[in-house]
Structure 1
Amino acid sequence: MGNCLYRYSIGNRRRRSIVDFKRVSIIFLITFFVLNIFLGTTYLQGQRSQKLSDLGDLAQIEERLAEENIKYDGSFSTKSLEAYYLSGVSSDLASLTLDGMALYTQNDLNGKSVTRDLSVLPDLIFNEADLVKQTSNFLASDNGVAFGEEYDYRKKLNGSNLSLYYTQDYQGIPFYDEGGSVTVNYQKVQEIPRKYQLTSLTQTHIANIEELREKQNVISEQEAIATLYVNSKLPERSKIQDRILAYTHIFSVDEKNIYLPVWFIWVKTSDDKVQIEKVNAFSNTIITTNVSDVTTN
């Protein structure tokens, strides 16, 4: 009887292993099938959009911008970096913060986004000059957040005037979307000398980051600007503000998120609206949505 149960247990484990292997294989195939569809769609969009050849010499882009009174700070980098198609999964942060759940609020059913009340914690009041450094130290400390050492401050991506924005990165290129970030809110508590208190934070995290294809070259910042120009995405008398290359989520397959390198470019129009333009850094095509991402100043 004991031998029968043992053989049954071994057989059952083998069947589960086979089922798990088949499931992983199916997910793998679906991921690459969907990715190839995306690549094909991107190619067709690129065929329909205007090309840099319409501009002529790429070096003329700065002259063209000046002619239309489009301003910008500094110069546009011509350096081409390398990046990947990546996959990752959203961490269940709620299960990792049980010890301090009195301070946490779960923002979604799966616990993939959590908010923490910091106003009740001591020693989180910092001078203005030390605010970023001390906040970074706090996040990476034992009393900070899970995976705190994986997040870096992103000045260019910081939105609100009363928050600090941190993200994960992969080989030096940050993530910029709803995942892989910590937003820390603060308030002024003293005028002279100016001091701020951290009040709350919201965190998401990307785990199990994997490369789906070999490393590829991406377009330069200058090429991204030129693509926006020839496709009429830079209005006359506008100002090109921050520009950054970042990974962003494009689609999901069975809880695996797929990420693509994208140039994010902030453009302030003559009526003080800021629009965020996005250029696929692999195909050099504009990523469009039904409604442009626009914020008022």
Structure 2
Amino acid sequence: MDFRRIEMIFLIVFLALDVFLLASYTQKGSNATYNTTPTVTNEQAIIQDMKDDHITVPKLSNDKGEGYYLASKIEDVLASNTKQLSSQSTSYNYDTHKLTSQFNVPIGYDKNNVVTVLKSFVENEHNVLHGREYVYQSGMSDEKSTVVFAQKTKQGVIIDPQGTLTFKISNGNVTGYTQTYLPNITVLREKQTTISARDAIELLYTSSEISQNSKIVWYKLGYSELIDVRGSIIYVPVWNVMIQHKGTKNETLKKVNALTKTIIKGTTTTDASSSSSSSASTTVDADD
């Protein structure tokens, strides 16, 4: 078989292949249909599943924020400065690093203005140590029994047992408070992107952490303890999600690491208390 004949055979084969491919493409194009109905996304499907499970879901944001790895050494600075406080008796627990105060004269207030009264109260350094570094938290408060403030930093608010100021209310009077405080907070790493509120709540649901017939009463992004390393506590941005069980009215606090998108095990369950509407903050910020 000479070279010219071989060349002709290859040419015929290639031409036949081109004709086949062209015919296939034309047939595919003529039979194609176009669906203009928008498809349901996975996120929409999850939210619908939650509603089908009778889970009340507030409006959720897809916005992502920024946060840091923070560190604070365990120091009992509150215990060292109680002498500057006036008109109150104090005690300090070195195991929990918590200051407890009892007012000599309870603070009275008019109906519905307890928050305003206490916001002004904490501004005075003779009333609360480092009081100006705390900000009111509506979702965490029940104004009939407790009003909660959280420590704020340049990087954001602390939502953790360490860094909390809680006023006690009894018979219409503020009788005292408990306080914890994080000193000398340092940034360990550059800021990183945090997951959105929607990401956190969908993760809790798909991980069976939100049961049927429940309600998400509030959610907030803040710093919580990750690990204790040789006397220093490492804090990370965490989505805190309060879930109320409609049948029992009990509330359970769930936590999601906002940097790694992982659930932090260990929840807190309490009796139901009045909670404000959800906070849709997408950065680790403080309530006004």
TM tier, shorter chain? 0.7 to 0.9
Aligned length, in residue pairs: 231
Task: Tell me the amino acid that sits aligned with residue 173 of structure 1.
Answer: G
Match of 1:60, SS state, is: helix
Kindly indicate whether the alpha-carbon contact (under 8 Å) linking 2:85 and 2:127 is maintained by their aligned counterparts in 1: no
Q: Which residue of the other structure, out of 169, 192, 199, is the alignment partner of 1:223?
A: 199
Give the equivalent residue in structure 2 for 1:114. 99
Matches within 5 A, 1:215-294: 215-272=191-248, 273-289=250-266, 292-294=267-269
CA contact (8 A) 2:72 2:185 kept: yes
Maintained 8 Å contact 1:84/1:261: yes
SS of 2:115's equivalent in the other structure is helix
Partner of 2:127: 144
* Equivalence for 1:86: 70
TM-score after normalising by structure 1 = 0.71
Are 2:151 and 1:168 aligned? yes
Distance 1:101 1:114 in 2: 14
Out of 44, 59, 74, the residue aligned to residue 44 of structure 2 is 59
Q: Distance in 2 between matches of 1:143 and 1:226?
A: 45
> In 1, distance between residues paired with 2:123 and 2:86?
19
Question: C-alpha separation between the residues in 2 aligned to 1:169 and 1:97?
Answer: 21
Instruction: Tell me, in whole angstroms, the C-alpha distance in 1 between the residues paired with 2:227 and 2:141.
Output: 24
Flag the 1:101–1:125 CA change in 2: closer, same or farther, 3 A. Answer: closer
How far the C-alpha of 1:110 sits from its partner, in A, is 6.9
Q: Distance in 2 between matches of 1:147 and 1:104?
A: 17
Secondary structure at the counterpart of residue 256 of structure 2: strand
Cα RMSD after superposing both structures: 2.3
Matched residue, 2:162: 179
Deviation at 1:56, TM superposition (A): 6.3
Q: How does 1:117-128 map to 2 (within 5 A)?
A: 117-120=102-105, 124-128=107-111
Aligned 1:32-71 pairs, distance under 5 A: 57-71=42-56
Contact 1:91 1:206 in 2 (8 A): no
Q: What letter matches 2:167 in structure 1?
A: V
Q: Is the 8 A contact 2:68 2:190 kept in 1?
A: yes
Q: Percent identity?
A: 27
CA offset at residue 172 of structure 1?
Answer: 6.3
Aligned mates of 1:240, 1:66 — CA distance in 2 = 12
Paired residues of 2:85 and 2:128 also in contact (CA < 8 A): no
Q: 2-side partners of 1:159 and 1:130: how far apart?
A: 13
Shift in CA distance, 270/127, structure 1 to aligned 2, threshold 3 Å:
closer
Larger radius of gyration: 2
Name the CA shift for 1:177/1:238 in 2 (closer, same or farther; >3 Å).
same
SS of equivalent to 1:225: helix
Residues 92 and 112 in structure 1, CA contact (< 8 A), matched pair in contact too: no
Q: Secondary structure at the match of 1:248?
A: strand
Deviations 1:120-153 (A, max 9, x none): 26xx321123211111111111431111110011
State the shift of 1:86 in Å.
Answer: 0.3
Per-residue deviation, 1:101 = 8.0
Q: Offset at 1:59?
A: 3.3
* Per-residue deviation, 1:119: 3.9
| Residue of structure 1 equivalent to 2:10 | none
Deviation at 1:105, TM superposition (A): 3.0
What is aligned with 1:105? 90
**1:49 corresponds to:** none
Mean CA deviation greater in 57-66 or 130-139: 57-66
1:226-253 Cα shifts (integer Å, max 9, x gaps) = 1011111121221111111111112222
State whether residues 237 and 258 of structure 2, in contact with CA within 8 Å, keep that contact through their aligned partners in structure 1. yes
SS where residue 93 of structure 2 aligns? coil
Aligned residue identity for 1:105? T
The answer on whether the counterparts of 2:88 and 2:101 sit within 8 Å (CA) in structure 1 is yes
Shift of the 99–226 alpha-carbon distance from structure 1 to 2, 3 Å rule, reads closer
TM-score in terms of structure 2 length = 0.73
Please give the alpha-carbon distance, in whole angstroms, between the structure 2 residues aligned to 1:110 and 1:101: 24
